[in-house]
Amino acid sequence: MALLEVNDLTVSFYTQEGVVTAVDDLSYTIERGEKFGVVGESGAGKSVTALSLLRLIESPGEIESGEILLDGEDLLQMSDSEVRQIRGNRIAMIFQDAQTALNPVYTIGEQIAEAIRHHLDYDEEDARERTIELLDQVGIPDAENRYSDYPHEFSGGMQQRAVIAMALSCDPDVLIADEPTTALDVTTEAKILDLLEDLTDEFDTAVQLITHDLGVVAELCDRVMVMYAGQAVEKAPVEELYYDPKHPYTVGLMSSIPRVGDDSDRLRTIPGSMPDLIDTPTGCSFHPRCPYAEEACTRTEPSMIDVGNGPDAREQSARCLEYTNDLQHGLGFDVSIDEDLSERVPGDLHE
């Protein structure tokens, strides 16, 4: 059984302009200890998916249907108090902006110790000791003294380290990290990502890492889900995604990574923008931007199809008519990138 299994999740926002289907029939699984990346343009539904896992969708939003199984138990069927037991304890979350997670009126140490006391049955002294140990583990120098610092006395990078310490303090099964480093400079970002990787390896924590940086995914993740307009359009092990992307949108994302040695500083982007989620196009929601789109794509909505090839290929699937059985030879396009993609693949994927 997978640690986390999301089945047919649909989440809508009832706005004055109409119903925004932010997450549309989304399914994926995360195994114990697995690092799972979620990528896609702004507005694709990444954060709404994450908030759904913690049942933090607020009005006018509503989780319409689906299942969110944690060790086989459906979070959507639990009472509020049962969900509170899971939040922070079995599923923890790190947000983009560390400041939102830290309360300015309590010291860093008090906040982490409080989380530990709340979730684990520690007394005050043990919680304090554990907190200092954690602050030390996330690389805060002189942790014993910094325990009594207020958030504003920490730099942005140190605040994010403290938030990571807090998130990991209860040894969660799943850590959701929603753009955890975008507020930081590049050097700090690299250090924080290394830290996340080391600690989650050490604690055997599964990670759902949300980002629009494919380089970050390559560095950290085992598997990736590409989202577009609330749907998964491709799921693949990270190597397959980089070397053999199947969905035209993934191919587009890959081509927008600047090449090594390409000093033009020009990031190719996919022309057009994501559709209005109140009124998504008929057929495939990517068809208006797809260079391969044919007439059938404007009418028929593709479903997620297994596309992995070869006996050793691990699970890879894509939502594109090209791969649906009855149309397999109908469209006849070859989704491939002309240039040598490996030139663009970030260092970690090179052997």
Ligand X SMILES: Nc1ncnc2c1ncn2[C@@H]1O[C@H](COP(=O)(O)OP(=O)(O)OP(=O)(O)O)[C@@H](O)[C@H]1O
Between 124-137 and 108-119, two packed helices, what is the crossing angle to 10 degrees?
120
Which of ligand X, Mg ion, none binds 100 (CB below 5-8 Å, type-dependent)?
none
For β-strands 231-237 and 61-70, DSSP reports them as unpaired
180 binds, among Mg ion, ligand X, none (CB under 5 to 8 A by kind): none
- Is residue 181 part of the contact set for ligand X (CB under 6 A)? no
Question: Token pair of 226, please?
Answer: 């590409």
Nearer to ligand X, 56 or 260 (CB): 56
Q: Which of residues 193-222 bind ligand X (CB under 6 A)?
A: 212
Question: Which residues are registered as beta bridge partners of 21?
Answer: 12
Query: Is residue 50 classed as helix, strand or coil in its secondary structure?
Result: helix
Q: Looking at beta carbons only, is 47 or 181 nearer to Mg ion? A: 47
**Residue 113: closest CA among 162, 175, 177:** 162
Q: Which of 37, 45, 109, 275 binds ligand X (CB under 6 A)?
A: 45
Residues in Cβ contact with 125 at an 8 Å cutoff, skipping those fewer than 6 apart: none
Residue 211 lies near Mg ion (rule: CB under 5 A): no
User: Which residue's Cβ has the minimum distance to Mg ion?
Assistant: 47
Could you count the other beta carbons within 10 Å of the beta carbon of residue 203?
Answer: 14
Q: What are residue 65's DSSP bridge partners?
A: 10
For the CB of residue 337, give the shortest distance to Mg ion in the complex, in Å: 27
Which position among 3, 5, 6, 13 is part of the footprint of ligand X (CB under 6 A)? 13
| Binding residue (CB under 6 A) for ligand X from 37, 61, 88, 283 | 61
Shortest Cβ distance from residue 283 to ligand X (Å)?
20
Please report, as residue ranges, which positions from 27 to 46 form the binding site for Mg ion (by CB under 5 A). Answer: 46
HEC profile for 260-274? CCCCCCCCCCCCCCC
42 binds, among Mg ion, ligand X, none (CB under 5 to 8 A by kind): ligand X
Q: Nearer to Mg ion by C-beta: 98 or 335?
A: 98
User: In whole angstroms, how close is the CB of 172 to Mg ion at the nearest point?
Assistant: 20
Residue 124's CB is within 10 A of a number of other CB atoms, namely: 10
Of Mg ion, ligand X, none, which one does residue 323 interact with (CB within 5 to 8 Å by kind)? Answer: none
Which range, of 37-45, 106-114, 151-159, 264-272, touches ligand X by CB under 6 A?
A: 37-45
**Contacts for 28 with CB less than 8 Å, ≥ 6 apart:** 6, 36, 225, 232, 235
Binding partner at 341 among Mg ion, ligand X, none, C-beta below 5 to 8 Å by kind:
none
For position 328 contacting ligand X by CB under 6 A, the verdict is: no
Computed from CA positions of residues 259, 214, 168, 144, in that sequence, does the dihedral angle turn out positive or negative? positive
Interface region with ligand X, contact rule CB under 6 A, candidates 40-48, 248-256, 283-291, 321-329:
40-48
> What does each C-alpha distance from 269 to 125, 186, 252, 257 come to in angstroms?
53, 21, 7, 9
Interface residues with ligand X (CB under 6 A) are: 13, 15, 20, 22, 40, 42-48, 60-61, 212, 277
Interface residues with Mg ion (CB under 5 A) are: 46-47
